[in-house]
Structure 1
Amino acid sequence: MSPSGNHSPRYSRIIGTGSHLPGARVTNQDLVQRLAADCIETSDEWIVERTGIRARHFAAPHESSSDLALPAAHAALEAAGISAQDLDLIIVATSTPDMVFPSTACLLQNKLGVHGCPAFDVQAVCSGFIYALSVADSMIKSGAASKALVVGAEVFSRILDFKDRTTCVLFGDGAGAVVLAASDEPGVLATELHADARHVDILCTPGTVAGGQVQGTPFLRMDGQAVFKLAVGVLEKVARSVLEKAQLTDADIDWLIPHQANIRIMQGTAKKLKMDLSKLIATVHDHGNTSAASVPLALDEAVRSGRIQRGQTVMLEGVGGGFTWGAALLKY
C-alpha cells in the first residue's frame, strides 16, 4: 500500500529497449596488425582463449557518447511506443562523458529535442547501467517520475593504451537504452548495489585535467587477475541477494545477462547459479567490453532476437572499477 493507504503499489517496468554500435568493426586480427606496428606480439587465439572476444566496435573520431546514445534512445522510445516528449527523467551511465560538464544526459536531452525534465549522469564504470536502472526504479516507485530513459553509453576506445595488449584488446564502444514506466504490475523485482574502494587501484583511469593539461595517466589500467577473482565471487553473492529479496530461487531465472567483460567470468557466474549455459546471454564475442553499455546492449539484442519474452525473469549484473557491483532482477 502507498503511505496514504488508498492506492495500489507502484512499480516500474521496462517497456522498450534499444541499442547502437558505431560503424567501425574492429576484429582481433585488426588489433594484431596495429600492435605489430609497435613490435607488440599478440594473436587472435590468445585473445579468444582468455576473453572470448573476437571483435569490437570503435567510434569515429567525431563521435561522442551522446552521439551513440541518441540512436539507442530513439530505438528504445520507438519500441516503447512513446515519444521523447513523454519522458520525465533521463539518466545516462557513462565513464567516458562528452565533456567535463554538462552531463552527457543533458546533451542527450537536447539532442532528443526535449527540455525541462531532470537529466543526469551516473558514474559507476561497468556497473553504471545497473546503478542507473536502480535509481530510475526508485524514482518511479516514489512517484518522482513516470517514464524514464536509462542509457549506458561509452567510447572506451578513447582511453585505451594501444601499447598495452592486456587491456586494449578488451574494450569497445556502444550504447544501450531502456525505457522504464510506472506500472501496477511488478517489473523491476529487486535491485542491490555495492562498492568497495579498497580495490580502487585494480581497475582505474587515474588521469585528471588541471591547468589545461592532463595530470596522471589518461589511459585505463587494470590488474586482470585481481578483477577476475573479485568479480566471480561478488556476482554470485549479489545475485543470490536479489533473488532472496524477490523471494525467488536460482531455478526461477529464465535468462542471465551479466556484464560482458570476459566469457570465463560470465560462465563461472552462471555455473555458480546452477544455470545451464544456454540461458546465458553473451554478446562479448562481437562487442568486447563496452562498460556501462554492455548489459543494455545484450538485453536489447536478446529481446529483438526473440529469446527474451514477456513474462520471463531476467537477472542483470554488473561489476566494474570502483570497485563497484550490483544486480537487478526483472520480470520482463
Structure 2
Amino acid sequence: MRNVTVAGTGAFLPGEPITNDDLEKLCGPLPADVLDGIQVKRRHWLVDPATGEHTTSNSRMAEAAARQAMARAGITPEDVDLIVVSTASPEYQLPTAGSYVQEYLGLERCAVIELRAGCVGAVQALDIARRQLADGTHDTALVIGTEAISPLLAPMFVGRDPEAVRMRDRLTLFNFGDGAGAVVLRGVDGPAEEHGYVNACLGGLRKPGMQVIGGGTDVPFAKQAQRARLMDIKLDAVGVAKYGPRLFVSALGDLLNRSGLRLAEVDALVLPEGNAEYFSREFEGAGLSRADYEELQSKIVENLTDVGATGSPAVLLALDAGVRAGRVRPGHTVLLLAIEASRYVYAGMSLRWPR
C-alpha cells in the first residue's frame, strides 16, 4: 500500500458576501436570540438575491475550487486521473456534476465518482479516493464538495413582501450558503501513514432532520407540479438541536477510538458547525465531559460565521480556511469530522498533515 498525502486545498464562494442586514431587507428579520444561536453572519449565494437569476453553476463552482487546489499543489489537470465529487444539488440528475468538472478541465479520459450526500459527503469522498490511491488504482485525485442551495431558497422571498415570508423559511434562509471546496490527493512511494475512518447513520428509525423535496420520484410529476414549490427544504430545527449534539459526541468518540488517539494528541478538529450556540451548548449533556469540552475549544477549526451551512463543501471550506490561517500546519494530527442532519449521519477521518 502506498502513502497518500494532501498536496493542496482550494475553495470557491460565489458573489459578494450577503450579510444578515442584507438578508433582513429581503425576507424580514429573525429574533435576535435565534440569530445569535445559529451564529451565521455572512453567506454567499450563486443566485442574484434581487432577481433569483443564477450567476454561476454548481459544477462551475467545483471547477473553480479544483483549479485553486491544483495550482497550490503544483499540478495540471492532465495529472488528475480520478475525480470524486459530493453534492446534493447537481444541475442535472444525469450526467453527473463530476463529469462536467472533467469536461471543464479539458480531460477526455478520467475516472469519475459522485456521491449524493450533504455534509458527510466530502469526507466519504476523501476516503474513497484515498483507498484507490493507496492500492495503486489511481495516482492523483481531485476530491470536491460542492453545493448550490440558494436556487431552492430564492422562491421563498424573490418578488414577495419581506414581512410575508414565514418565520420557518427565514430560519432556512439565514442558515444556508453556497460554495465549493477541493483537495488534491496524491499517491506517493513510501510507507503508508495511518488513517482512521468512521461512517455511520444513526437515524434509520428517526424522523429526518432535513429533507430536500421535489424533483425526485416520490410521487408522479403531475402531483409534484401542484405543490406550492417545485422543490423545497424541510428543516426539523428542534430535532437537529436536540439530537445533533449526541450525533457529534458519538462520532468524535468513534473516530478517536478508531484512530487510536486521545483528544490531547489532536492538533486540529475540522468541522462545519463548531461555534453554533444551539449545537455546542448541548455537548456536555450529550456525554462530552467538561474537561474534553474545554480541550476542544482551542482545536476546533470552522468558518460557519462566514459561509453559513454549505452541505457537501462544509468541511473542505473549513479545512482550506484553516490552512490559510495557519490553524492546520505541517506535522499536525488533524481530524475531519462531518455530521449531516438528513438522517443523522456522520463521517470522520484522521490524518497527519504533510510536512
TM-score, length basis structure 2: 0.83
Indicate yes or no: 2:192 matched with 1:171: no
Which whole-Å CA distance do the structure 1 matches of 2:142 and 2:308 have between them?
A: 24
2:214 aligned partner: 207
The answer to whether the 8 Å contact 1:19/1:176 transfers is yes
Q: 2:240 aligns with which of 227, 241, 245?
A: 227
2:7 aligned partner: 15
* C-alpha deviation, 1:269, in angstroms: 5.5
1:4 aligned partner: none
* C-alpha deviation, 1:141, in angstroms: 2.2
Q: Which runs of 5+ in 1 are unaligned?
A: 1-8
Residues 123-146 of structure 1, C-alpha deviation per residue, up to 9 Å, x if partnerless? 121111111112112222232222
Residues 29-48 of structure 1, C-alpha deviation per residue, up to 9 Å, x if partnerless? 11111113xxxx425x3454
Which whole-Å CA distance do the structure 2 matches of 1:79 and 1:206 have between them?
A: 38
2:299 aligned partner: 279
1:325 aligned partner: 346
Q: What letter is aligned with 1:55?
A: R
Indicate yes or no: 2:143 matched with 1:150: yes
1:109 aligned partner: 102
* C-alpha deviation, 1:188, in angstroms: 6.4
Which whole-Å CA distance do the structure 2 matches of 1:47 and 1:53 have between them?
A: 10
Indicate yes or no: 2:204 matched with 1:197: yes
2:76 aligned partner: 83
Q: What letter is aligned with 1:87?
A: V
* C-alpha deviation, 1:276, in angstroms: 4.0
2:118 aligned partner: 125
1:251 aligned partner: 264
Aligned pairs for 1:43-54 within 5 A: 43=31, 45-54=32-41
Q: 2:332 aligns with which of 291, 297, 312?
A: 312
The answer to whether the 8 Å contact 2:302/2:319 transfers is no
Percent sequence identity is 29
Which whole-Å CA distance do the structure 1 matches of 2:296 and 2:260 have between them?
A: 21
The answer to whether the 8 Å contact 1:13/1:188 transfers is no
Which whole-Å CA distance do the structure 2 matches of 1:269 and 1:138 have between them?
A: 32
Pair 1:290–1:188, CA change in 2 (3 A): farther
The answer to whether the 8 Å contact 1:256/1:315 transfers is yes
The count of residues paired between Structure 1 and Structure 2 equals 319
Pair 1:206–1:261, CA change in 2 (3 A): farther
Query: RMSD in angstroms over aligned alpha carbons?
Result: 2.2
* C-alpha deviation, 1:190, in angstroms: 1.0
Pair 1:282–1:268, CA change in 2 (3 A): farther
Indicate yes or no: 2:42 matched with 1:55: yes
Q: Secondary structure at the match of 1:24?
A: coil
Indicate yes or no: 2:102 matched with 1:95: no
* C-alpha deviation, 1:266, in angstroms: 5.1
